[in-house]
Chains A and B, each alone.
Chain A
Amino acid sequence: MGQIEWAMWANEQALASGLILITGGIVATAGQFTQWYLGAYSIAAGVLVCLLEYPRGKRSKGSTMERCGQKYLTRVVKLFGPLTRNYYIRAFLHLGLAVPAGFLLATILGTACLAIASGIYLLAAIRGEQWSPIEPKPKERPQIGGTIKQPPSNPPPRPPAEARKKPSEEAAGVPTGGPQENPMPVNDEVV
């Protein structure tokens, strides 16, 4: 169990809690329950949590599956710098957001889930995990002339290039090595 990145699970749990808070809040507000203003609060808190948690952080090793369309939110979340990078801050933020919703029955499940997510984030923070954005890989611009190797330094017939040492060892009779020594003088006969 030692290699688990707890923040990954905390992220899933927090996102789910956000959705549950929103749902509970809608039920309480639409039904005009007693203290329904807490329902309105929990919708707002749920939306905030969802927006914060939607962009998945990068795993420390291995590749991370991005959520659909998360790059726009990643840019926004990145803006807050250490506030969103640090998991201690996230843990306490979630705990703080969860508490008022705990006073209304419809959102008590959301509170419990968000509190659990906060606990897992705390564990992740203690283990030194951090949120890092998933950056899109910069498009590799084709380097003009990059694949053109050194032009040949001697006229044909040429031996196979130095790089082809392995096959040239097998195939007998093919000379290796540097520039060709012509057995007889070669003249350029162009008039």
Chain B
Amino acid sequence: MMGCWILNESLSIILVLSWLGVNLYLFINTFYWYEEEESFLYTRVILGSTLAWARASAVCLNFNCMLILLPVSRNLISFMRGTSACFRGPWRRQLDKNLKFHKLVAYGIVINATIHVGAHLFNLEHYYWSQSPEAEGLVAALSKLGDTPNETYLNPIRTFHTNTITELLTTIAGITGLLISLALILIMTSSTEFIRQVSYELFWYTHHVFIIFFIGLAIHGAGRIVRGQTPESLLLHNITLCRDHPEEWQVRCPVPQFSGKEPSAWKWVLGPMVLYACERIIRFWRFQQEVIITKVVSHPSGVLELCMKKRDFKMAPGQYVLIQCPSISTLEWHPFTLTSAPQEDFFSVHIRAAGDWTEALCKAFGVEGQPLKEPWSLPRLAVDGPFGAALTDVFHYRVSMCIAAGIGVTPFAALLKSIWYQCCEAQTQCKLNKVYFYWICRDPGAFEWFADLLLALETKMSEQGKAHFLSYHIFLTGWDENQAFHIALHWDENADVITGLRQKTYYGRPNWNHEFQQVAFSHPSSNIGVFFCGPKALSKILQKMCRVYSSADPRGVHFYYNRESF
């Protein structure tokens, strides 16, 4: 059990180190190959070790470009999650960190691209200098190769009466290299966290420049300008004897022959490109499938609830869908957590207006004071998904703590409903027998749609005699003096004055030490799953609490932390 806990926390570190290890292995291996390899000896005479730097970083680039499309193939990841035999427990949680991995690989690409470009700048300059009239000896002799009809060339720059820029722009490798570097820089500058906040659309649209990136990458090596000696020439031309006497090559040694290296980038990236193309095709096909909107509810504080039906739609609590509204934007898909339980015959999402697209959607569905819309005038929606996330693990623990901050309550809405349905069916045995639910919220108006759910649950549980199954605590963090007086006056009543629920609302933030202590005390030898959806700062606090209150004894209480994020 304790090994499992260590594995939990460090699996991410292990995976990152493995990725780094593979990168270093590829880099160092390729570097030494190009430094020692005989067929590139003459190339090294002109270029020096910048050849090895350029080639080593190129191999790392190939590796990383292969990896980068995989974490964003959502349907592939869902498929991997579905095959639960292979992906249990800690491995499943790693699949939730796909975006972090995508960013890590992107940084890897940038670093290797910088090394690659820098090294090739030196290479081009060295090739250019070796054509100058001042070059002498072996370097000059090698550069002259290719001038006569029976010779193959080594130096791609054939004359001194040119400049490196012209040479760059007249080669496939040069043009594609410039293009893909520009594409990479545009992607990076539009993907910073600030720009994603300012305008998600800009980030999303500019990111599609990756198509140019991958096409450029695939044809980047087509010019075959990395040249090494052919194997046949190596047999005929003895390097150790002949390298010191270039003036005698026509006489004693046969002239060395060179050939260009085959492009290899396409071999690395073809698979993932095909997979990603399939991913986009699946999304397009799902877009074509009909989505019927069965109910539209407008809740206070600008929350829109949409209930929909779609053929063959199966979900689990905690999963999310991507929604597209063609009348607002043809290219954007936005993620929303499902708030309905799998046992219901429809699926629903609760959307809050928090940006251009969501505001336009709320307006299109007639939120806040606009006249009621007829069902046939509602805009068409397309839904892709559902895509999996961590909450399906809640049922694998005997005790679970679910903590939601603000709008982060949405995955837990689905979960609590699902728990409700499972409690009704007395035949099915849940492993889960206690749920602690904490909701931290600023605005009491936002309570309304969720308060109804909690009220219904409260009634249901006490009817079934399972009143102690669910223990929930609501924390209202934004209150003023007037409210405080009002609440103080009604403190002794049975139902809470704001929500009408039997369990009282607390004011201010929770004291996590106290909460975790209580839970640990009540369940001394259990594994407790902690599930959180909300801001990072609180996530860090909760992770710390889980570490502090997990006992060192393998038979004692253990808190396992799971975070939900988009």
Show the binding face of A for B, using Cβ within 8 Å: 1-5, 8-9, 12-13, 16, 20, 23-24, 27-28, 31, 33-34, 56, 59, 62, 65, 103-106, 108-109, 112-113, 116, 163-164, 166-167, 170-171
Contacts and interface: CB of A to CB of B under 8 A. Distances in A.
A109 B486 contact: no
12 contacts: A1-B202, A9-B189, A12-B189, A16-B185, A16-B188, A33-B121, A33-B164, A34-B125, A65-B193, A103-B165, A109-B117, A112-B178
Given A105-B165, A167-B486, A112 B182 contact: yes
A104 B164 CA distance: 8
A9 B207 CA distance: 13
A59 B205 CA distance: 21
Contacts of A113: 182, 185
A105 B189 contact: no
B194 A12 contact: yes
B357 to A, nearest CB: 10
B343 interface: no
B489 A171 contact: yes
Contacts, number: 94
A3 B128 CA distance: 49
Nearest to B205: A1
B485 A12 contact: no
A101 to B, nearest CB: 11
A1 B117 CA distance: 34
Closest 5 CB pairs of A and B: A105-B164, A12-B189, A4-B199, A167-B489, A13-B189
Contacts of A5: 198-199
Interface in B191-221: 192-195, 197-199, 201-202, 205
B168 interface: yes
A116 B178 CA distance: 14
Interface string B544-563: 00000000000000000000
B356 interface: yes
Interface in B73-119: 114, 117-118
A29 B201 CA distance: 40
Given A1-B201, A3-B356, A105-B168, A34 B128 contact: yes
Interface in B316-371: 356
A80 B402 CA distance: 54
A109 B485 contact: no
B482 interface: yes
A105 B124 contact: yes
A186 B146 CA distance: 121
Nearest to B194: A65
Contact of B125 (A4, A13, A31, A166): A31
A8 B200 CA distance: 13
A109 B194 contact: no
B482 A166 contact: yes
Contacts of B507: none
B164 A34 contact: yes
Contact of A105 (B121, B202, B486): B121
Contact of B118 (A4, A27, A62, A112): A27
Contacts of A4: 198-199, 201-202
Given A16-B189, A20-B185, A59 B122 contact: no
Given A16-B188, A108-B178, A9 B201 contact: no
Interface string B167-197: 0100000000010011001101110111101
Contacts of B118: 23, 27
